[in-house]
Amino acid sequence: MSQAVKIGMFSFAHGHAVSYAANLRTLDNVEISGIYDDNVQRGQQMAKRFATQYFDSAESLLDQGVDGAIVCAENANHRPLVELAAGRTGYILCEKPIATTLADAQSMIDSCARTNTQLQIAFPVRFSPPVQQLKQLLDEGKLGRVYAAKCTNHGSMPGGWFVDKALSGGGAVIDHTVHVVDLLRWFWGAEVTEVYAEIGTNLLYSDLDIDDAG
């Protein structure tokens, strides 16, 4: 048997981390080498749940040697963890959105490029069977020339740090519209050239400091 692929989990602040860890456990020859979380109680609970070790610092987990890193911290905390792991592991999967500012996003990309580390942002909608079927139809030209597209993401309001602008960077648009934008770029193999946006605050919730629709 070949050597197991070692994955380090960096923060369970985002709920998707639980899904990632659970799916990793189903894979042959893959092991979760350890979990780091700045929330000690949460980190220890997740380490027990997934039968691995809790580390009280990201550095100590990286020192164990990991083949890949999964970063699921609060949006504003993606950059320090990604840049710390860059060059110390070959592959990083970072939860979306990549960052809360363009400067942070570019710095993360540059750090990974400089250290020959593959950085991926979690956009799983591309792998949905209906979405892949639509992509195939577009590629085959069976839908003709497309002049416009209308997309809707009916995401829920998760609460917690997601409604803290300092940690999330925003609300519904940054959390959910990123999936739509990713699909549009992928469908047509083109980059965005111009953006117009409208967001709404307190349309559905009266006590939020972030947009709840857009």
Does 63 score more than 80 pLDDT? yes
Instruction: Report residue 168 as tokens.
Output: 């999330």
What CATH number corresponds to the domain at position 186?
3.30.360.10
Which domain covers residue 76, as residue numbers?
5-122
User: Are 106 and 9 part of one and the same domain?
Assistant: yes
User: Are 22 and 96 part of one and the same domain?
Assistant: yes
User: Are 75 and 94 part of one and the same domain?
Assistant: yes
Domain final residue pick, 59, 92, 122: 122
Domain final residue pick, 122, 144, 175: 122
This prediction's pTM: 0.93
What CATH number corresponds to the domain at position 96?
3.40.50.720
User: Are 136 and 157 part of one and the same domain?
Assistant: yes
* Beta carbons within 8 Å of 63's beta carbon, 6+ residues apart: none
Confidence of residue 156 (pLDDT cuts 50, 70, 90): confident
* Beta carbons within 8 Å of 51's beta carbon, 6+ residues apart: 32
82-126 pLDDT, tens digit per residue, is 999 999 999 999 999 999 999 999 999 999 999 999 999 999 999
Q: Considering its fold, how many domains does the chain have in total?
A: 2
pLDDT at 157: 77
> To which H or E segment does residue 183 belong?
helix 178-188
Quote the Cα angle for 87-92-93, to 5°: 170
Does 1 score more than 70 pLDDT? no
12-23 pLDDT, tens digit per residue, is 999 999 999 999
The residue with greater pLDDT, 118 or 213, is: 118
